[in-house]
Chains A and B, each alone.
Chain A
Amino acid sequence: MNRPPHLRTILTIVRFTLVENAGRRHLWWMIGVAFTLATGLALVGTFFPLPGFTTLQTVELFASTPASYFVLVVLVVLGLGLMRAEIDSGVAALILSRPVTAAEYVLGRYLGNAVAVAASLAVLGGGAFLVVLAGGDADWKLLYHFLVLSWNACVFLALVGALGVLIGTVAAIAVGALSFYALGSGGTYLISGIVDAGAITGAAAVVLRLFVALAPHVLASPLSAGQETVIGDAVFVFPGPTLADFVWSATWLVGALLFTIVLVERREL
């Protein structure tokens, strides 16, 4: 019945979503804290490398850890405002009473928030990269790592949005954040076969298996790609992100957005 999405309408929604995000003071605070931690810890790492790690590896580890937790918090903050809360408060009805289709609304809101997340991570990654650069070594892999982190965050943002409209914001945030955490850390080990989910006992194994089965394939960090880990008698090599991984996670992203569009279109406001 409705016309195809208009790019101009989508861009208008993206623009004002960015304007709204710029007005979130707590987001600026979070970026500031994460930036301070990322660059501060990176500086500490240049002087006090971890035992068994090179200086560069220590800096990379120290810089990317606050960034990962920042992403988790951002998933909560922006995920909360991503459509579900707007549907409940009537903001969505106000927007959709204008000449705006459900597809334009969902795509515009999603892209606006995804750009905000990616830009925040670019700031964090840029800061850490400058510290590494000041140490005398331009490690481009660190920037690639932040690019992958941004991509993963965008995939999860789409999933949290879809789950939010489907089952409720708080539940969606919990599932999204936990699966990001599980896949972002332990999940990489599970997927790469370093840790067998069967070896983890009880409910934790069930939950982790479920995340791995249901959640999108989080791209493994390029920082750890090729690193060897010995567990028992076996030697495992960490995987790096491959083109197939990008395609697979992009499929999840597109699927989540289409699912959200259908939900919003069918939902009565």
Chain B
Amino acid sequence: MTTASIIAVEHVTKRFGRRAEAVTALTDVSLEVRRGEVVGLLGRNGAGKTTLVKTILGLLRPAEGTVRLFGGDPSDVDTHRRLGYSPEEPNFPRYLTPRQSLAFCGALSGLRGDALRTAVERQLDAAELRLVAGRQARQLSKGMTQRLSLAQAFLHGPELLILDEPTADLDPIGRRQVRDAIEAFRAGGGTVLLNSHLLSEVERVCDRVAIIHQGRLHREGKLDDLLAGGKELEDVFVEVVTAAGGGAGFLPQGDEPA
């Protein structure tokens, strides 16, 4: 791992449960994210992407291997001041409004006074949440909650963004806005770990891609290298997953469609 590492995952294995019933969600995963990069984490549903993200954040503890975040232990919460995280299924305190939720998140990250107020108002505009800024979180649609989640991730000017399926509940315009925001963030020197199964999205914004399947990292490299020879990312993804034993389809094996 290099000195420019923002995230360094080394031989991480993660199991849920104990003894015989344990489910292995990650097996010997190693991944590095360097400063200024946008790295896409690709995989099917249940591949282990979110487990890896939570392990990087220190919300889950690996059974084996190490994770370094900004060169330190991810369980050291002071390093969290430097990152913004948007979870896969975002939820906010039910009785807080988006404005209050943003102020809460900003205050926890050390923003105070005018700086906090300015940041909150800026994010309400950027996420197009001004019209619902006074509505309680329980009254927001999934799309609005997703926008709020992204707004809180960008709020305090982090160095690293960890975005877990950030556009899953957004419409096409919202997706484009998120792509633009990620590109602007990278242009400003920011680093992004983007967890997604939307290949087109990853193809447009990522410098490097890691493909994970059934808890194992099967391919990792620069996007240009992976797409050498005019391949589409979808072809590469299907090829990797199929080679790893996935992609059998929805039908039970051996059955033929009528």
Contact = CB atoms under 8 A, between A and B. Distances in A.
Interface of A: 1-3, 9, 12-13, 15-16, 19-21, 23-24, 81, 86, 89-91, 93-101, 268-269
Given A20-B100, A91-B91, 4 more contacts: A2-B76, A12-B104, A90-B90, A101-B77
Contacts, number: 91
Contact of B108 (A20, A81, A98): A98
Report which residue of B57, B80, B96, B104 has the largest number of chain A beta carbons within 10 angstroms of its beta carbon. Answer: B104
B73 interface: yes
Contacts of B76: 1-3
Nearest to A267: B59
Nearest to A108: B108
Q: Dominant SS at the A interface?
A: helix
Nearest to B97: A23
Interface of B: 54, 57, 59-61, 73, 75-81, 83, 85, 87, 89-97, 100, 103-105, 107-110, 136, 149, 152
Given A19-B100, A21-B95, A100-B108, A93 B87 contact: yes
Contact of A2 (B75, B97, B109): B75
B162 to A, nearest CB: 8
Nearest to B59: A269
A1 B74 CA distance: 10
A86 to B, nearest CB: 8
16 contacts: A2-B75, A9-B108, A12-B107, A12-B108, A19-B96, A90-B89, A91-B91, A93-B54, A93-B87, A94-B105, A96-B59, A97-B59, A99-B78, A100-B80, A268-B59, A268-B60
B145 to A, nearest CB: 11
Contacts of A100: 77, 80, 108
Contact of B95 (A9, A24, A90, A101): A24
Report which residue of A9, A99, A269 has the largest number of chain B beta carbons within 10 angstroms of its beta carbon. Answer: A99
Contacts of B81: 98-99
B221 to A, nearest CB: 28
A3 B97 CA distance: 31
A16 B78 contact: no
B87 A1 contact: no
A97 B85 contact: yes
A94 B91 contact: yes
